[in-house]
């Protein structure tokens, strides 16, 4: 009989052989494992919400996510008597903050109309909601969302019904954590791609100005627009061309020194493009006033990329926004004289028509 060495581990603890492809990209392997665990979160939420409507007889169940831009109701199910197009989902966030104020409790309101604090609430006046049950999703130190149930008539909740809601909420919480992990993995992967591209490729900057060029811009957009859309943050885009008689290199260096770390000034050949992530119209105007003291009154065009607007929502290469910037710059040149021009903005209007824009 042979004896095992004291330092020898049983077979089940021997390190597994790693496939060559996984060894080269462990981040991709993690992403694949996450995708296989929950291949379709939307379908999972849809079944769960419809289950609650069917089994509990409520008029609507909804899941609201906590995002960087506020509360967003992403998934909901409704009973047949109100239909899927009923605007009930628009009122959900009005009661969600009450759930988030005490994430360790379940908010149960049998009849909103008899509640002294909520008697005049808009959920009754506009939507006719009488009953509400809300439960927070995710760990206590990082609430990810709210699961809510609503009915048009007053009703009481039995312990069995509350238990079912808690069980579904637990499943939803784990799924939201996986979705958050998936988003973080994608963001990390994009950042690593950008870092690797910069380290391995020296053709990502303009040889004349030493500024990032169009190739760098394409990689940068892949990384930053995904994160900006997830957070619902707008981005200002400004375009101009430095006249030949000016010392463009010195001016661009001065402008670059005054930018924030997340801003990007690129040399597109004849033109310059400045991108200001997380900037609204007012914030961009303040910076542009300083830039125009350096460049002088030259023609400039600008716009805002707005990820919550239908025109820009899926435009992750900034194509529509850059078209607006170019049109605004063209208008600035046409309205100016002797090579000078005012700052011109072309912004999207509130509706979803891509043809409608205002200057």
How confident is the model at residue 292, as a pLDDT?
A: 93
| Dist CA 48 CA 275 (whole Å) | 41
Domain span at residue 242 reads: 204-358
Structure-block tokens of residue 187: 């963001």
Q: Is residue 45 part of a domain?
A: yes
CATH of the domain at 130: 3.30.450.40
* DSSP string for residues in 145-156: EEEEEEESS---
| Helix 159-200 vs helix 41-56: crossing angle, to nearest 10 | 170
Q: Nearest 10 degrees: CA dihedral of 201, 203, 206, 209? A: 50
- CB count in 10 Å sphere of residue 71: 16
How confident is the model at residue 13, as a pLDDT?
A: 35
Condensed to tens digits (0 to 9), the pLDDT of residues 234-249 reads 999 999 998 877 767 8
Q: Is residue 7 part of a domain?
A: no
Condensed to tens digits (0 to 9), the pLDDT of residues 129-146 reads 788 999 999 887 788 899
How confident is the model at residue 42, as a pLDDT?
A: 79
Burial of 159 (0-12, 13-18, 19+ CB in 10 A): exposed
How confident is the model at residue 180, as a pLDDT?
A: 77
| Dist CA 240 CA 302 (whole Å) | 9
Q: What element of type H or E holds 352?
A: none
Q: Are both 131 and 171 inside the same structural domain? A: yes
Q: Is residue 246 part of a domain?
A: yes
How confident is the model at residue 18, as a pLDDT?
A: 37
Nearest to 356 by CA among 322, 317, 316, 310: 310
Q: Are both 92 and 222 inside the same structural domain? A: no
Q: Are both 345 and 209 inside the same structural domain? A: yes
Q: Are both 155 and 80 inside the same structural domain? A: yes
How confident is the model at residue 283, as a pLDDT?
A: 87
Q: Are both 219 and 172 inside the same structural domain? A: no
Q: How, if at all, do strands 300-305 and 343-345 pair?
A: parallel
| Dist CA 175 CA 78 (whole Å) | 21
How confident is the model at residue 30, as a pLDDT?
A: 60
Q: Are both 208 and 178 inside the same structural domain? A: no
Q: Is residue 100 part of a domain?
A: yes
- Tell me how many domains the chain contains: 2
Query: Which residues of the chain carry a pLDDT beneath 50?
Result: 1-24, 87-93, 352-359
What's this model's pTM, rounded to 2 decimal places?
0.50
| Dist CA 162 CA 294 (whole Å) | 64
Q: Is residue 335 part of a domain?
A: yes
| Dist CA 64 CA 93 (whole Å) | 8
Handedness of CA 209, 210, 212, 215 (dihedral sign): positive
CATH of the domain at 303: 3.30.70.270
Structure-block tokens of residue 264: 């990007």
| Dist CA 257 CA 236 (whole Å) | 18
Condensed to tens digits (0 to 9), the pLDDT of residues 41-53 reads 778 888 999 999 9
Q: Are both 215 and 353 inside the same structural domain? A: yes
Nearest to 127 by CA among 60, 76, 46, 55: 60
Q: Is residue 76 part of a domain?
A: yes
How confident is the model at residue 202, as a pLDDT?
A: 59
Q: Are both 233 and 336 inside the same structural domain? A: yes
Q: Are both 52 and 85 inside the same structural domain? A: yes
Q: Is residue 28 part of a domain?
A: no
**Which residues in the chain belong to E strands, given as ranges?**
60-67, 70-78, 107-109, 131-137, 145-151, 235-240, 264-267, 272-277, 300-305, 343-345, 347-348, 357-358
Q: Is residue 193 part of a domain?
A: no
Q: How, if at all, do strands 70-78 and 300-305 pair?
A: unpaired
How confident is the model at residue 242, as a pLDDT?
A: 83
Q: Are both 215 and 120 inside the same structural domain? A: no
How confident is the model at residue 248, as a pLDDT?
A: 75
Q: Are both 214 and 346 inside the same structural domain? A: yes
Q: Are both 241 and 137 inside the same structural domain? A: no
Q: Of 182, 212, 247, which marks where a domain is finished?
A: 182
Q: What element of type H or E holds 176?
A: helix 159-200
């Amino acid at each position: 009989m042979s004896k095992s060495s004291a330092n020898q581990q049983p077979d089940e603890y021997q390190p597994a052989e790693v496939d060559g492809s996984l060894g080269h990209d462990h981040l991709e392997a993690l992403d694949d494992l996450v995708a296989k665990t929950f291949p379709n979160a939307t379908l999972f939420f849809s079944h769960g919400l419809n289950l609650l409507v069917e089994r509990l007889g409520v008029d609507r169940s909804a899941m609201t996510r906590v995002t960087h831009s506020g509360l967003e109701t992403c998934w909901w199910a409704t009973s047949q008597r109100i239909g899927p197009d009923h605007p009930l989902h628009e009122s959900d966030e009005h009661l969600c903050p009450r759930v988030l104020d005490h994430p360790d409790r379940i908010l149960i309101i049998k009849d909103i109309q008899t509640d002294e604090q909520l008697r005049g609430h808009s959920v009754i006046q506009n939507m006719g909601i009488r009953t509400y049950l809300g439960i927070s999703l995710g760990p206590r130190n990082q609430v990810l969302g709210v699961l809510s149930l609503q009915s048009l008539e007053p009703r009481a909740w039995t312990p069995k019904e509350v238990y079912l809601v808690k069980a579904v909420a637990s499943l939803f919480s784990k799924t939201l954590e996986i979705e958050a992990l998936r988003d973080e993995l994608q963001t990390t992967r994009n950042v690593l791609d950008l870092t690797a591209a910069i380290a391995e490729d020296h053709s990502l900057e303009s040889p004349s100005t030493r500024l990032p060029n169009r190739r760098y811009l394409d990689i940068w957009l892949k990384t930053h627009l995904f994160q900006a859309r997830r957070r619902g943050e707008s981005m200002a885009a400004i375009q101009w061309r430095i006249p030949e008689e000016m010392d463009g290199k010195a001016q661009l260096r001065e402008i670059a020194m005054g930018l924030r770390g997340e801003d990007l000034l690129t040399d597109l050949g004849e033109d310059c493009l400045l991108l200001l992530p997380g900037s609204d119209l007012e914030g961009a105007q303040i910076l542009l006033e300083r830039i125009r003291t350096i460049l002088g009154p030259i023609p400039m065009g600008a716009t805002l990329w707005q990820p919550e607007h239908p025109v820009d929502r899926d435009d992750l290469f900034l194509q529509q926004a850059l078209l607006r910037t170019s049109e605004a710059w063209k208008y600035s040149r046409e309205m100016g004289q002797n090579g000078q021009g005012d700052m011109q903005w072309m912004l999207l209007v509130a509706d979803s028509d891509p043809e409608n824009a205002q200057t």
